């Protein structure tokens, strides 16, 4: 069975890059009928970071990714780690090191003076004497002294690390007994039965150390897939300046979960030149061995494009529900269908759509000066008054086409072009010269509101 996991360090929110690796891990587990686990890596152990976990769970809920089983908190697994440290001590695969801070600093200075890499010199590796008085010990693992460690990575291929360049007998437990990061990650992944580790390639350099832990404890090494980072357009690691990094900000900005997930799956993975993937398609097509080898570039236009696609294809009822988060309540509005049909094609985000809705439903509080200058002429008054009167005597005004026909008959009657009525009417209705079709706007707000808005402009 394929078991994957997402293992965020608690930062207070779910990072967009984190959601991407979580999604890939989720897809791979679900596609194989496996398990997708969630582990909070609160390795400073000072607190059980429930707030951070809540933020992550909330974001998972919003995008619709479900994890299996309980959330594992590293802070509540201390006894497990200690037991495994002890096992390594008992088997002579780890040892106590009594080196003081001063000695360690002196060693480092000496090595740097010789322009060497700072590393532990193994002085307690085979120590059998009496420990120095009053010194607290850290626990170090016996790492290989020479040769290479190969990470067989499903994305990068075989990555060979030279032991002499990257390893030493690294600390697995501090003097206060708390275990260190690479030790707990390896122990947890092994004990939780994780078969496939899909994570950011910023963790690639940790992997040889984790492999040392796997080997020492006799655990099976999982498959690794290190996903290249998301970059900005300048080729640097994505930062807050390039776009929101907090997943829930995307909800606030009016993106749909489908668009965001589709956007993220394409940042790092492709299937031919297909751009649009439903969750079902992602689930049937995703394969981590097709993850791109090079960094992907974050592109807001692409996200907007996907979001418009999903908005266009969202049924109106669902759209209503989504708009409620943005303060727009349309569930019981009798013109909801015409309204949403008219706006679906125009908005890139739910926020834009919510703005358009209120521009239509709410009488303009003011009129755009430029629009007035351009579109409200000496004769506009007369034209609008005539149109307003014509509305009162018209028998059937319901559909956009009814309003359109009325406008046509007024321009014919007055012998004017369509623009002569269109522009001032648009200003009366929307306060500016842009917006959806006037016939549609009038059909949505109805005769009375249209007449009121005309009157308001004329009495201004």
| Distance from C-alpha of 301 to C-alpha of 144, rounded to nearest angstrom | 49
Which residue, 184 or 391, is less far from ligand GLU as judged by CB?
A: 184
Tokens 């997402």 map to which residue?
A: 6
223 lies in the binding site for ligand GLU (CB under 6 A): no
Q: CA-CA distance, 375 to 119, in Å (whole number)?
A: 76
CB of 27 or CB of 430, closer to ligand GLU: 27
H or E stretch at 31: helix 16-31
- Residues 75, 42: contact at Cβ < 8 Å? yes
Residue 189: CB minimum distance to ligand GLU, A = 7
The Cα-based distances of 141 to 51, 78, 243, 339, 438 in angstroms read 34, 18, 41, 67, 75
Task: Choose, by CB under 6 A, the member of 2, 3, 4, 8 that binds ligand GLU.
Answer: 8
Query: Minimal distance in Å, beta carbon 8 to ligand GLU?
Result: 5
The contact mask relative to ligand GLU for 317-356 (x = CB under 6 A, - = no) is: ----------------------------------------
Q: Which lies closer to ligand GLU via its Cβ, residue 258 or residue 296?
A: 296
CA 243 from chain centre, in angstroms, equals: 10
Query: Tokens 């360049």 label which residue?
Result: 165
Structure tokens at 394: 């018209």
Q: How far is the CB of 79 from ligand GLU (least distance, A)?
A: 21
35 contributes a contact to ligand GLU by CB under 6 A = no
- Count other Cβ atoms within 10 Å, centred on residue 268: 25
344-348 contacts, C-beta under 8 A, 24 or more apart: 344/311, 344/312, 344/314, 344/319, 345/308, 345/312, 346/436, 347/308, 347/311, 348/304, 348/305, 348/307, 348/308, 348/311
Does residue 9 interact with ligand GLU by CB under 6 A? Answer: yes
Could you give the CA distance from residue 357 to residue 388 in angstroms, rounded to a whole number?
23
3-state secondary structure of 343: helix
41 is an interface residue for ligand GLU by CB under 6 A: yes
> Which residue lies nearer to ligand GLU by CB, 185 or 407?
185
Q: Please, which of residues 267-306 interact with ligand GLU by CB under 6 A?
A: none
Least distance between ligand GLU and beta carbon 363 (Å): 50
Region near ligand GLU per CB under 6 A, out of 3-11, 75-83, 288-296, 321-329: 3-11
Q: Which of the ranges 2-10, 145-153, 211-219, 378-386 carries the binding residues for ligand GLU, by CB under 6 A? A: 2-10
> Under the criterion CB under 6 A, does residue 199 sit at the interface with ligand GLU?
yes
Distance in Å, CB of 27 to ligand GLU, minimum: 16
| Strand ranges of the sheet holding 148-153, from the earlier edge strand across to the other edge | 157-162, 148-153, 223-227, 196-200
* Least distance from ligand GLU to the Cβ atom of residue 198, Å: 8
Exposure string over 63-72, b if 16+ CB within 10 A, otherwise e:
bebebeeeeb
- Sign, CA torsion 231/233/236/242: negative
Binding span for ligand GLU by CB under 6 A among 4-12, 91-99, 310-318, 369-377: 4-12
Q: Is the dihedral of CA 201, 206, 209, 210 positive or negative?
A: negative
Rounded to the nearest whole angstrom, what is the least distance from the CB of residue 168 to ligand GLU in the complex? 21
Q: Rule CB under 6 A: say whether 7 interacts with ligand GLU.
A: yes
Closest approach, Cβ 203 to ligand GLU, in A, equals: 5
Considering the complex, what minimum distance in angstroms separates the CB of residue 429 from ligand GLU? 51
Q: Which is nearer to ligand GLU, 42 or 439 (CB)?
A: 42
CB of 21 to ligand GLU, least distance (A): 7
Binding residues for ligand GLU, rule CB under 6 A, total 7
Q: Which is nearer to ligand GLU, 8 or 435 (CB)?
A: 8
Q: Which of 14, 65, 138, 185 contacts ligand GLU by CB under 6 A?
A: 185
Q: Tokens representing 410?
A: 């007024």
> Contact, 71 vs 39, CB < 8 A?
yes
Closest CB to ligand GLU among 173 and 186? 186
Burial of 348 (0-12, 13-18, 19+ CB in 10 A): buried
Minimum CB–partner distance for residue 336 and ligand GLU (Å): 43
Separation CA 3–CA 287 (nearest Å): 14
Please report, as ranges, the residues that interact with ligand GLU according to CB under 6 A: 7-9, 41, 185, 199, 203
């Amino acid at each position: 069975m394929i078991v994957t996991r997402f293992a965020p360090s608690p930062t207070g929110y779910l990072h967009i890059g984190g959601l991407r690796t979580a999604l890939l891990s989720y897809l791979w587990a679900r596609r194989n009928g496996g398990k997708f686990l969630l582990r909070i890596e609160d390795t400073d152990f000072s607190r059980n970071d429930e707030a951070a976990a809540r933020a992550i769970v909330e974001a998972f809920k919003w995008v619709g990714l479900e994890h299996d089983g309980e959330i594992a908190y590293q802070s509540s697994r201390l006894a497990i780690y200690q037991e495994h440290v002890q096992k390594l001590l008992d088997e002579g695969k780890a040892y106590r090191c009594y080196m003081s801070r001063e000695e360690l600093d002196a060693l480092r200075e000496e090595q740097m003076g010789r322009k060497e890499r700072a590393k532990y010199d193994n002085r307690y590796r085979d120590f059998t004497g009496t420990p120095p008085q009053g010194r607290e010990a850290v626990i170090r693992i016996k790492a290989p002294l020479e040769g290479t460690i190969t990470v067989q990575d499903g994305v990068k291929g075989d990555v060979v690390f030279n032991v002499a360049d990257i390893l030493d007998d690294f600390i697995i437990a501090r003097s206060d007994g708390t275990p260190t990061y690479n030790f707990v990650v390896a122990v947890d992944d092994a004990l939780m039965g994780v078969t496939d580790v899909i994570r950011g390639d910023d963790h690639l350099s940790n992997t040889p150390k984790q492999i040392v832990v796997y080997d020492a404890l006799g655990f099976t090494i999982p498959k690794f897939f290190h996903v290249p980072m998301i970059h900005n357009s300048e080729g640097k690691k994505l930062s807050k300046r390039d776009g929101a990094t907090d997943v829930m900000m995307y909800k606030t900005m009016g993106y749909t979960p489908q668009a965001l997930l589709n956007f993220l799956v394409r940042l790092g993975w492709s299937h031919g030149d297909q751009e649009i993937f439903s969750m079902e398609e992602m689930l049937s097509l995703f394969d981590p061995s097709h993850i791109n080898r090079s960094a992907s570039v974050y592109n807001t236009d692409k996200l907007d494009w996907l979001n418009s696609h999903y908005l266009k294809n969202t049924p109106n009822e669902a759209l209503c529900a989504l708009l409620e988060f943005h303060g727009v309540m349309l569930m019981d509005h009798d013109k909801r269908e015409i309204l949403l049909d008219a706006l679906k094609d125009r908005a890139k985000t739910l926020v834009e759509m919510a703005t358009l809705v209120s521009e239509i439903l709410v009488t303009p509080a003011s009129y755009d000066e430029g629009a007035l200058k351009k579109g409200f002429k000496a004769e506009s008054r007369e034209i609008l008054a005539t149109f307003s009167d014509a509305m009162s005597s018209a028998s059937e005004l319901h559909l956009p086409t009814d309003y359109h026909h009325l406008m046509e008959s007024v321009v014919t009657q007055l012998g004017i072009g369509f623009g002569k009525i269109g522009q001032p009417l648009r200003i009366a209705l929307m306060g500016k010269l842009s917006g959806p079709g006037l016939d549609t706007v009038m059909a949505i707000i109805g005769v009375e509101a249209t007449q009121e808005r005309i009157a308001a402009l004329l009495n201004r």
